[in-house]
Chains A and B, each alone.
Chain A
Amino acid sequence: MILLFLAGLALAQGAPPAKVTASVRRIFGPATDVRLLPVGTDTVLRVARGDSLLGFAVVRNVRGKDQPITFLVAIDPADRLKDVDVLVYREPYGGEVAYDAWRRQFRGKSAADSLRVGREIRAISGATISVHAVTLGVKQLLADLTHWHQTGAIR
């Protein structure tokens, strides 16, 4: 019954739950406890193993040329970016932002770091819109997560 309900919810969401689960497992490792903490319009995933906090993650959308790009940002307890995942990329062009080789540039960054395309973040010619959209989206989400964590909105 409840499984059916959850499956129904899953279908209604932009990000397939299997992808969110796989992403959290990839970033934080297997056998983690996940709690959902609503903050404003976002839902923060609090990831822990036993009593030790591993970090937080949030799923959001940014607009590409005409479709939303669904991405996840995860931080560690020290507010450093653990990883970015592009969960769903819907447009026919610009999908290169989902490649690990490009995404890994964000790892270890903190909210105080500058994230500019062409400087800290490599440009991908022919994917300009997606590169700027994802970079801005990650920067904003990293700032939000850091702020919530430092002000105790999430703990």
Chain B
Amino acid sequence: MLRAAARLALAGGLWAAAVPAPAPAQESTTVGGYGEIHYTNSRGRNTPAEVNLRRFVVYLAHTFNDRLAFRSELEVEDAQVEGGSSGGEVALEQAFLDYRVSAALTVRTGLVLPPVGIVNETHEPPTFNGVDRPAFDHDVIPTTWREIGVGVVGRLPVADGWNYRLYLVNGLRADGFSAAAGIRGGRQKGREASFANPSLTGRLEWVRPAGGLRIGGSFWYGGTTGGDTLLGTGSFDAPIALLSADARYDRGALAVRAVIATLSVRDADTINALYGSAVGSRIAGGYVEAAYNVLQVMAPTTSQRLSAFVRHERYDTQADVPTGTARDRGFARRITTFGLAYKPTWNTVFKGDYEVLRTAGGSREGETLRLGVGYQF
């Protein structure tokens, strides 16, 4: 009787029930992390080199059940934070709850990363070339950009390779905008943030199903009053609109990536008059980077990598200025960085590069040598 039932089960494929695979249904906690240590030496007199433990980040995730997971990144910047002295930062870079409905839909709530460009979401040091992140990913797309909100992420079920994310988050604050670093100072980073200007941000991307290519388009739209009635009383007053596109291409030893973005600050004139700043009414630019793994040719048997790369960035945080604001061509930057990245494993890296900064105005130029190590696990 029992034997007959077992044979029946076998025929019906029910044997599969007895195939053990460690069940993920129970609660579990995962710890990970990443970090980077930099040596920076700017060219010129009286510019002694500096060494800095730039980032130390602990990744902490907890799985509650099949559907619910918490994910977070806690960061220490510049090694130490001390009362009464400047510098250093302890901050949460991400902290959110994911509720997974299906591969097509995960509902996310918390401190999230606006899915703009490449580096904001994927910022672990072994994932990008150059000791420091591209300057574009500081002054145009203000990485690590994180705000509090709710949204949805997933795979679009239309065809293989399509992913999306869409979030409703708190807005930026125009009182933090600047001529040199655009909207960077306007981020609220989840710290008692004003929700006067609910903002929308999202991304649509396509991955070649066989691998090797990922392209994406991103946007951000929202007001920036931060509750300052002098700038406006509506939720979408003093809006900024950001559009960005990016691509990552890998083929054999070659890796190419490119990002462009344009940002319009509609009421830049009012913002500048109100806060005494010189924010551009348009901020725009991009970069293109190519890297080649020379070990693929020199040492075909190894799985280590030694990439030589060159990156060219062009951006202007005052691509347009409103009437009444003087345009400083020293903000129209052209940055060329070339260097090496040695990766003994895919998640550890030793880097060195040389950056040449030129501007249309001839001011604020400089050259910098950087060395660094980075890891993720």
Contacts and interface: CB of A to CB of B under 8 A. Distances in A.
Q: Do A and B form a real pair?
A: yes
A118 B208 CA distance: 15
A131 B250 CA distance: 13
Interface in A16-56: 17-18, 20-21, 24-25, 33-34, 36, 41-43, 45
B24 A95 contact: no
Given A6-B14, A119-B296, A132-B346, A125 B24 contact: no
Interface in B326-371: 346-347
Contacts of A102: 209-211
Nearest to B346: A132
Contacts of B305: 118
Given A18-B16, A33-B10, A99-B210, A122 B24 contact: no
Q: Give the dominant DSSP class at A's interface.
A: mixed
A112 interface: no
Contacts of A7: 17
A77 interface: no
A124 B106 contact: no
Q: Which secondary structure dominates chain B's binding surface? A: mixed
B34 to A, nearest CB: 11
B9 A92 contact: no
Contact of B207 (A21, A24, A126): A126
B61 interface: yes
A140 interface: no
B346 A17 contact: no
A17 B214 contact: no
Contacts of A128: 127, 346
Contacts of A1: 5
B18 interface: yes
Contacts of A60: 21
A126 B208 CA distance: 12
A9 B153 CA distance: 32
Interface in B149-190: 153-155, 160-161, 163
A75 to B, nearest CB: 16
Contacts of B21: 13-15, 59-61, 70, 87
22 contacts: A2-B6, A7-B17, A9-B17, A14-B23, A17-B13, A17-B19, A21-B14, A43-B19, A66-B30, A68-B24, A70-B24, A90-B66, A92-B98, A92-B108, A95-B103, A96-B211, A99-B160, A118-B250, A118-B293, A118-B305, A124-B214, A128-B127
B332 to A, nearest CB: 30
A123 B212 contact: yes
Contacts of A127: 207
A17 B16 contact: yes
B20 A6 contact: no
Interface of B: 2, 5-6, 9-10, 13-25, 30, 32, 59, 61, 63, 66, 69, 71, 98, 100, 103, 106, 108, 122, 127, 153-155, 160-161, 163, 207-212, 214, 248-250, 252-253, 255, 257, 293, 296, 301, 303, 305, 346-347
Interface residues of A, number: 59
Contact of B154 (A21, A45, A92, A116): A92
Contacts of A78: none
Contact of B161 (A20, A92, A99, A117): A99
A60 to B, nearest CB: 7
Q: Chain A CB within 10 Å — which of B18, B212, B250 has the most?
A: B18
Interface in A76-127: 87-90, 92-93, 95-96, 99-102, 114, 116-119, 122-127
A10 B63 contact: no
A155 to B, nearest CB: 18
A67 interface: yes
Nearest to B301: A114
A119 B211 contact: no
Which are the 10 A-B pairs with shortest beta-carbon distances? A21-B13, A17-B16, A122-B211, A66-B61, A101-B210, A20-B16, A125-B248, A101-B209, A66-B30, A99-B209
B141 to A, nearest CB: 16
A20 B19 contact: yes
Given A66-B30, A66-B71, A96-B211, A119 B22 contact: no
Contacts of B19: 13, 15, 17, 20, 36, 43, 45, 59
